[in-house]
């Protein structure tokens, strides 16, 4: 089954519902879970559930996913929450009705994500052990 999914290409081969369900059930192929797929998952949850619940869902599901993959050391609570909040920030200013249009309208989320994050944080949350374990509020610029 996983071999079959990999032949499909990328996360766009999955509907929003399929991506959400397969990720929640730790069935989504790890090689397809790119940075962009992570942003899309945030967009899906934010669209369906709003910011507060999306943050809860994504952090819980991503922790389960990395445990399933045996990659717990890759999980970063601050970065996960910040990504959801960054997507939310751009969604508030967007009229896009689907993720492809949204990411085309906001390419910085995909191509300059670290730069966007460093507008909010003076510390390196990407490598901070504290940031990996618990969400750290931004020191420079709060999220919406």
Global pTM exceeds 0.85:
yes
Instruction: Classify burial at 26, counting beta carbons within 10 Å of its beta carbon; exposed 0-12, middle 13-18, buried 19 or more.
Output: middle
Backbone angles phi, psi at 71, to 5 degrees: -125, 40
Dig out the tokens for 122 from the structure.
């003076």
Dig out the tokens for 8 from the structure.
């499909």
Averaged pLDDT, 24-52: 96
pLDDT of residue 138: 97
Angle, CA 108 vertex, CA 7 and CA 57 arms, to 5°: 65
Beta strand spans in 34-142 (E): none
CB 140 within 8 A of CB 122: yes
CB 55 within 8 A of CB 96: no
Q: Is the pLDDT of residue 5 over 80?
A: no
pLDDT of residue 8: 55
pLDDT of residue 144: 79
Helix (H, G, I), strand (E, B) or coil at 84: helix
């Amino acid at each position: 089954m996983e071999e079959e999914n990999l032949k499909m290409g990328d996360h766009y081969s999955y509907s929003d519902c399929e991506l959400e369900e397969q990720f929640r059930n730790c069935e989504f192929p790890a090689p397809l879970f790119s940075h962009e797929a992570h942003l899309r998952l945030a967009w899906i949850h934010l669209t369906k559930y709003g910011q507060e619940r999306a943050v809860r869902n994504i952090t819980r599901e991503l922790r389960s996913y990395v445990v399933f993959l045996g990659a717990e050391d890759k999980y970063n609570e601050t970065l996960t929450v910040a990504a959801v909040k960054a997507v939310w920030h751009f969604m508030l200013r967007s009229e896009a009705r689907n993720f492809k249009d949204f990411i085309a309208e906001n390419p910085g989320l995909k191509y300059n994500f670290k730069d966007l994050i460093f507008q909010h944080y003076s510390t390196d949350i990407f490598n901070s052990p504290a940031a990996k374990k618990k969400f750290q509020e931004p020191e420079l610029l709060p999220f919406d």
